[in-house]
Amino acid sequence: MTQFWGTHQNRRDAKGRVSVPAQFRAALRALGDGEATLVLRPSHKHSCIEAWPQSLFQELETPLGRLDQFSDPHDDLALTLYADAYPVEPDKEGRIILPESLAAFAGLGETVVFMGLGRTFQIWEPAAAEQRRAEARVRARELTLAGIGAGTAGGKA
C-alpha cells in the first residue's frame, strides 16, 4: 500500500527538466492516475515542494464541499489548495518540469533530492533535505522509541 520510499538525487538539465526516480514512476503507474499524474505545491511548513498523486490530492478537496461555498473558510482553503498548485505529467522519459516559482521557493539548484514519504513525496535542495532528515530523526525518535528500533524489537528481553 505504501508507495514512495527512500531518497533519490537527480539533476535538472538546462531546460529545467528532472527525471522522477524510476521507483516513484512505477508507484505512480500502479496508482493508474492517467492525466496529470502529479500535483506540485509548496509545502506550508518547509522550504520544499510537495508532490501528490493526483487521486490523493483530490481527497484533500472533499472538505471543501462541506463548507459554505461563500464563506471565508471556503475561500481560504480553496485558495491555498489551488492557487499555488501545479498539475504536471511526466514526459515519455519520465521527466517533469518544475515551475519556476516552486523551484525558487524551494531554493533548488542543479541537483535536487526526492524524498519518499509513503503516500506522497517531497522535492528538496540537497543540503536542506539533509538537515530536515536529521531533525525529523531526532523528533521521531522521541515519538516512538517504543515502536521503532530493531534494537528493541529483537532485544525485547
Partner DNA sequence: TGGGGTTTCATGGAATATCATGGGCGGATA
Partner DNA sequence: TATCCGCCCATGATATTCCATGAAACCCCA
Q: Is 37 in the site for a second copy (CB under 8 A)?
A: no
Residue 69, CA distances (Å) to 32, 60, 65 in order: 31, 16, 8
* Least separation in angstroms between CB 78 and DNA: 22
DSSP letter string, 86-139:
EEE---TTSEEE--HHHHHHHT--SEEEEEE-BS-EEEE-HHHHHHHHHHHHHH
From the list 101, 87, 100, the residue with the least C-alpha distance to 57 is 87
Closer to DNA at the Cβ: 12 or 132?
12
Select from 13-21, 27-35, 79-87, 89-97 the region that touches a second copy (CB under 8 A): 79-87
Among 81, 94, 97, 105, binds a second copy (CB under 8 A): 81
* Least separation in angstroms between CB 157 and a second copy: 7
**Residue 92 contacts which entry, a second copy, DNA, none (Cβ below 5-8 A, type-dependent):** DNA
